[in-house]
Structure formats: structure tokens, C-alpha cells
Amino acid sequence: MEHGLSAFSDVSALRDIASAGRAFPRPAGVSLSYGVAGFRARAHLLESTLLRMGMLAAARSRALGYVVGLMVTASHNAEPDNGVKLVDADGGMLHQRWEAYAVELANADDDELARAFARIPCDPPARTDGGDGPRVLIAWDTRPSSERLAALAARGAELAGARASALGLLTTPQLHHIVRFRNGADGCALVGRHLGRGAEWASERGYFEMLAGAYAELVQTGERGAPVGPALPIDVDCACGIGAPKVLLLNEALAHALGGAAHAPELRVVNAPSTGVLNAGCGAEHVQKARAPPRGLASAMEMPSGRAASLDGDADRIVFHYFKSRAPSIASGPPPASGPPPASGPPSAPRAEAETARDAADGWALLDGDKVAALLADFLRGHLRAALRGSTMPASPSPARATAAAAGAAPHVTRARGDDDDDDDDGVGGDGDGVGGDGGELRAAVVQTAYANGASTAYLRGRGVSIAHAKTGVKYLHAVALRYDLSVYFEANGHGTALFSERLLDTLVAARDAGSAGGEAAQAAESARVLLACHQLINQAVGDALSDLLIVDAILRRRNWDFSQWDALYADLPSRQTKLAVRDRAALLTSEDESRVLNPPALQRALDDLMAVAEAGRCFVRPSGTEDAVRVYAEAATQQLADGLALDAALAVHRLAGGTGPAPTAFTA
């Protein structure tokens, strides 16, 4: 039993829960595991799960005394799938300790459901929510099955004694934002002191206002006072999902914040829901895994803006791409002091190897999550150094625990920086990049997974940026990122964000406000202003495609860079991903950092032999947390070697880890 909480004891509600369990039976033979982002399966298998997760969300809200969220989506999965993601009171993902309750509840026998629910410690000793009672905000994506599943979740929440509010169609990050700001407005200590306009921004409208306002702030000037680059259009591949209507709303908000559409970057919707099947041949997952442009933007002719972005099915991740022949040319200003040299700098020879046949033919290039992280890390780090020049760190007993201390919150509900609650399987390495002020050191780092391209890691290291490592899945990256004062985390697939600690924000506010003194202080104040606008723009709860889209565009405009200049930060090592089905993917066990197979041991021996003969070869395999498949990643000195390594590794998995169906002969995205 968790501290201070007792079991749910409303006997009549438990009776209702028991009968609902029988009315929506669990499909026979289906056992669900809580993957890297909640439960996912074919939609028709999920009715009992959604009902039960509505109950769990109610319990979580009751335990914390704050609003929580429930998102119905299967993100990048195929349209017939669906899933559920739970949003915790601080706007983050469900606390890992509660995942065990989620699994227990989702897999309880129908007759056991009420008893399983009654075992969840969720009755607080006294109400802490000002009497509003438990409340679950529910939103869903555009899948045909989503609305019905959302209604079942609402029913589950109500049976478990919570009020359920249906917010309708939202992106996943929007729901995270609304939960966070809603609780922040109510003074929830978990959310931090630097929230901005809590109550005003606790809505979809507020979300757009916040983003557009921060973007407008950032594009007031270019770097070092140079004129800012022009507002250019960008084609946004919305994966035939929820991103499409939201991009249109973002256009309106930008036009409003910037004093007219002419001053805003036009976000052109490609692949709206009415034009095709969700995630099929389009969207971030397709583009990044297949390393090919999406339908609708498959040639330079189809991409009139010369630059594009692809969102995934629930718009929590984004990758960028462009055709080199059509990239809009920007009269390049001087390179920023903090930034790397422009296009001509990095070597371009490896790029030729990296390009697939399609790239070579059309000059198509992908800018993935690693490239976004590199751009952000460079930009934020440069401004951080400038903002801290001459500043004094606020005295703080332990920066990492500042939020927890300020919160005074019970340890079992606090997910503050450095909270050891999440230390079980963080898989973190890296010490952090100390950026000093007079009174202490702020720690900054980029957090990557095993999927990060080796060239991106080398680039960041070469620029003195510290790298920390985490397991695949943003919940792991986020937990590691919270250990730093400023951290940028991105998965190569485009899921990520940047986090600012409370201590850093205190310091930035002080530096900004000291700016009127002139001289160096004025420069520091300007960088502090820029960083505070970034904090407002970058979603602090979770990776957010729309917020990432805007910050990338703002940085490029401030630097007067086009996509090719950004792309030239470093040349990706050639890589290839594929996946294959096995009898039982849970039987494949990997090391903490996922770089090595522990079981079956013969598989790692085979992979070692393959890597030994491929120049600069690196490969690893791991069971997917979202699909019934084993994923294979390979990189090597040439595309041909990377492809060969990936296929050989897939064959080794098939042979030694119970592959089903015919042995793989081609790549599966």
C-alpha cells in the first residue's frame, strides 16, 4: 500500500464495476503489456481495456487530488489498431509505478475486476483537491474506433467515481498540455513555478496562443541582432490524422500573433484525414523508417515550398525533409557566434554513401530527430552561455530536487528532477555539461537512445555537448532528461523536446530583468529572453510535433538558414531499420541500454560476428514495445554495408529467436 493512501472502499461503486466487467468481457487469450507508451492492439480487442483504463485514470486522479488525462490513440500504428495513453497530473506520462496497476487491471479476469480495482491504493486520507473530486479529461485521435473507445473510458471513469470530460479530437501533446496547465492553474505543486498564464492557457485555444506568442517573441530579431529571415511556407504531411485540423488552427493563431498571415510561415496541410488511410505511406513513422518521402510529397514537383515536415498519427513526433534541388535559398547572414559553420563546413563525402537510390535520384534528404536535437542543442547552449555570463546561480540545496522541495508533495506522487522513483531502469550514462555561473554549475545534456545515428553522437561530442543515454521510449528519455537543468532529448524518429529546470528558469528571469543595466548584462538579458521564449514554445510535458515544428522554424529564421544549411551540421552514417515477427518477442532479452542481446546468447554471438566484418558496423535488435515484432537496426560505413548488415541481422533473429513465416528477404518499415 502506498504512503497515506488506502484501498478504494465504495461498496456500491465496486458492485457497479463488477457488473461492468462482466458486460464488457476481456477477449479470450489476449494478455496486454504496458509498452513504451501504454496499451496498443487491434481496436476490437480493446473495449474492456478502455473501460478499465477509465477506472484506473479515476483512481489516479483520486490518489493525487488532481485532474488526469486519458488519450485514445495508437499513434503511428496502422489504422485498425488503437490504444490508450494515460496523462499524469503534471502533464507527463503515467508514473511508472502505476503501470503495474494498469497491467493488473487490464488483464484481470472479468470476475476479478472489482477485487483488482479495490487493491489499488487510491483513497487519500483527506481530500486535497478543494472538493472538486476526481476528474478525467478524455481526448481521442481520428481513428474510426476512437470515439467509441473514448466513451467506454468515460464510462469506466464514472463507474470509479470520477467526473469524465470529453474534450474531443486533440493531439496527444495538446491533452498533456491541458492537463498540466489545468492543474498548474489550481496550484498543483508538481507542475512548477514557471508555468506562464496557467488558467488562461489551460485549453486548446490557450495552447495555440502560448505557442504562437512564443514563436512571435523568438522571431522578433535574428541572431546577434541581425535581421530575422523571411517567413517561408512549409508543407506539413499530417499522416491523414489529427495533425491536419490542428495545423489549420495553428496557422490562425500564428497570423494573429504576428499581425497578419503575411508575417507568418504558412503551414500547408498535406495528407489530411479525408485523403487516405492513417499512417499508410505517409507520416513520420513511414518517412523515418522507410527513409522515403510520403505520398503527396514524393517528388520535388509535389513539394512547392521546397521544405516539408511529417507528423505521426497523434502529432507527438515530427521529422523534416526536403528536395535539395528545390530548397528555397536564403541569403545567408553571418554564422552565429554560438552556432556551427554553415553549409560548406562539414564534410560531404559520406553523405553520398548515405543516400539511398531514391535520394540520389531526386536529391531527397531526411532531417530526423537526431538532427533536430543537434540544432536545438547548439542553439540553446549558445544562448545559455551568453545568458549566464556574470550571473549568480540562486542558492539551492539541490537543484535536482528543487521542484520536489517546492512542491512539498508526497514522494509517491512526485516526479521531480532527480526523483529516484524512476531510477529502476533509466539506463542513463553521461555526466552533463557544466555551464557555470558564479554561485554554482548548471548541468546540460542531450539524451539519446541506441537508435541515435553514430554521426550525431560524434557531432555533439565534438562540440563539447554531454550525452546521456536512455532506453527506447520517451518515458525513459524524459526521466533521464529531468536530471539536468537544461536537456534536449529526441528519439531518432522525431519524438522529443527540451526541458528547463526551475533553478535555470529562476536564473534566466533574474538575468532578463537585470538587462536594463546595459553592456554585457544587456546581452545576457537578450539571451535570457530568447531562452524563456523557447521554454514557452517547447512542450515541457512531452514531445510535441507542433511545438517542435515552430521552434525549428524560429531557429532557422533567426540564423537565416535554409534546410540544407541545417542538414550540413553533420552527415548521417548510412543506416537501415527493419522488423520481423517472432513467436514470442518477450523471450528476447536485452541489456539495460538495449545494445546487446542477453537471451538467446547465440543471437548476440551471431550479431558480433556480423559486425566484425562490416566496416564501422553497429547493429542491435530489441523487442518492440508497441508492435508484435522484433526491431533490427544497423549502421555501417556505406549504405550497401548497412543494408547487408540489417538483413543478415534479421536473418539471425529469424533463425535463433523463433522467427515466424518465411525468412526475411527485404526490409519492412
Ligand X SMILES: CC(=O)N[C@H]1[C@@H](OP(=O)(O)O)O[C@H](CO)[C@@H](O)[C@@H]1O
Q: Does 626 bind ligand X (CB under 6 A)?
A: yes
- Distance (Å, whole) CA 341 – CA 552: 17
Report CA 220 to chain centroid distance, whole Å. 27
Closest CB to ligand X among residues 99, 129: 99
Q: How far is the CB of 343 from ligand X (least distance, A)?
A: 28
Stretch in the footprint of ligand X (CB under 6 A) among 394-402, 435-443, 607-615, 622-630: 622-630
Q: Does 404 bind ligand X (CB under 6 A)?
A: no
Report CA 243 to chain centroid distance, whole Å. 15
List C-alpha distances in Å: 70 to 78, 378, 389, 667: 20, 35, 43, 35
Cell of 411: 514522494
DSSP at 549: H
Closest CB to ligand X among residues 159, 545: 545
Query: Which residue is it, cell 513465416?
Result: 661
Q: How far is the CB of 81 from ligand X (least distance, A)?
A: 12
Q: How far is the CB of 622 from ligand X (least distance, A)?
A: 7
Q: Does 627 bind ligand X (CB under 6 A)?
A: yes
CA nearest to 362, candidates 309, 291, 311: 291
Write the burial class of residue 639 (CB in 10 Å: 0-12 exposed, 13-18 middle, 19+ buried). buried
Q: Does 290 bind ligand X (CB under 6 A)?
A: no
Site track for ligand X across 182-201, x = CB under 6 A: --------------------
Q: Does 590 bind ligand X (CB under 6 A)?
A: no
List C-alpha distances in Å: 320 to 247, 288, 297, 478: 15, 9, 12, 22
Residue from 65, 198, 473, 644 touching ligand X (CB under 6 A): that is 473
Stretch in the footprint of ligand X (CB under 6 A) among 25-33, 267-275, 466-474, 548-556: 466-474
Q: How far is the CB of 312 from ligand X (least distance, A)?
A: 7
Site track for ligand X across 36-55, x = CB under 6 A: xx------------------
Q: Does 448 bind ligand X (CB under 6 A)?
A: no
Q: Does 469 bind ligand X (CB under 6 A)?
A: no
DSSP at 336: P
Q: How far is the CB of 369 from ligand X (least distance, A)?
A: 9
Residue from 474, 499, 534, 642 touching ligand X (CB under 6 A): that is 474
Considering the candidates 61, 75, 466, 575, report the single residue annotated as catalytic.
75
Closest CB to ligand X among residues 501, 575: 575
Cβ–Cβ < 8 Å for 338, 378:
yes
Cell of 592: 539495460
Q: Does 625 bind ligand X (CB under 6 A)?
A: yes
- Distance (Å, whole) CA 583 – CA 564: 44
Site track for ligand X across 60-89, x = CB under 6 A: ---------------xx-------------
CA nearest to 210, candidates 186, 245, 242, 174: 174
Stretch in the footprint of ligand X (CB under 6 A) among 15-23, 373-381, 434-442, 621-629: 621-629
Q: How far is the CB of 75 from ligand X (least distance, A)?
A: 5
Closest CB to ligand X among residues 156, 173: 173
Q: Does 491 bind ligand X (CB under 6 A)?
A: yes
- Distance (Å, whole) CA 374 – CA 565: 13
Could you check whether the bond before residue 600 is cis, i.e. omega within 30 degrees of 0? Answer: yes
Stretch in the footprint of ligand X (CB under 6 A) among 153-161, 332-340, 391-399, 491-499: 491-499
Closest CB to ligand X among residues 204, 627: 627
Q: Does 456 bind ligand X (CB under 6 A)?
A: no
Q: How far is the CB of 453 from ligand X (least distance, A)?
A: 12
Q: Does 472 bind ligand X (CB under 6 A)?
A: yes
Q: Please, which residues bridge with residue 163 across strands?
A: 135
Active-site annotation holds for 75: yes
List C-alpha distances in Å: 132 to 105, 179, 663: 26, 15, 57
Q: At what angle do helices 639-656 and 601-613 cross, to 10 degrees?
A: 160
Residue from 451, 500, 620, 667 touching ligand X (CB under 6 A): that is 451
The count of chain residues that interact with ligand X, using the rule CB under 6 A, is 16
Q: Where are the beta strands (DSSP E) in 493-625?
A: 496-500, 575-580, 589-590, 597-599, 618-623
Stretch in the footprint of ligand X (CB under 6 A) among 187-195, 386-394, 489-497, 530-538: 489-497
Q: Does 553 bind ligand X (CB under 6 A)?
A: no
Closest CB to ligand X among residues 48, 472: 472
Q: At what angle do helices 369-388 and 502-513 cross, to 10 degrees?
A: 50
Cβ–Cβ < 8 Å for 310, 241:
no
**Helices in 24-93 by DSSP H: which ranges?**
47-64
Cβ–Cβ < 8 Å for 203, 526:
no
Alpha-carbon dihedral 243, 247, 248, 253, rounded to 10 degrees: 140
Give, as ranges, the residues between 326 and 385 that touch ligand X (CB under 6 A): none
Closest CB to ligand X among residues 106, 120: 106
Cell of 133: 473530486
List C-alpha distances in Å: 197 to 46, 170, 502: 37, 21, 16
Q: Does 624 bind ligand X (CB under 6 A)?
A: yes
Stretch in the footprint of ligand X (CB under 6 A) among 127-135, 138-146, 207-215, 488-496: 488-496
Element (H, E) at 525: helix 519-537
**Can you give the binding site for ligand X, defined by CB under 6 A?**
36-37, 75-76, 451, 472-474, 491, 493, 495, 624-627, 631
Q: What residues act catalytically? A: 75
